[in-house]
Amino acid sequence: MMHIGINMKESTKKALKYVKDGKVFKLLSGKGFELYGVEANTGIYEVRYDLNKDMWTCNCKNIKLCACAHIQAVIIYKGNEKIKCTSITPPPHQSLYHREG
């Protein structure tokens, strides 16, 4: 069970819906990171997983929750329940709005 933010229950419901509806997809992998896209009603959000720091970030405005619905959706998509947030500032990275494959 995850206890991270004030609106976590609502956020988790959204995350499960994103995964169920096939709205989560891998954009690319690089040295030390993985980049995913989550298609929401308001656009496509980028979720980055830093493999070296074991840290998740998202470019949405709900990142103050630590694990927004987009991060949770990717974690569920990957089959991993472990969340570690040590930063609320998303790193700069190039916008990629296409599905891999």
Residue-level pLDDT at 1: 40
Q: Please, are residues 5 and 11 in contact by the beta-carbon 8 Å criterion? A: yes
Tens-of-pLDDT digits for all 101 residues of the chain? Answer: 444 444 567 778 899 999 999 999 999 999 999 999 999 998 999 999 999 998 888 888 775 556 788 998 999 998 865 555 443 344 444 444 333 44
pTM of the entire structure? 0.70
Distance, CA of 74 to CA of 77 (rounded, Å): 5
Residue-level pLDDT at 81: 54
DSSP characters over 26-37: EEEEETTEEEEE
Residue-level pLDDT at 20: 92
Residue-level pLDDT at 56: 87
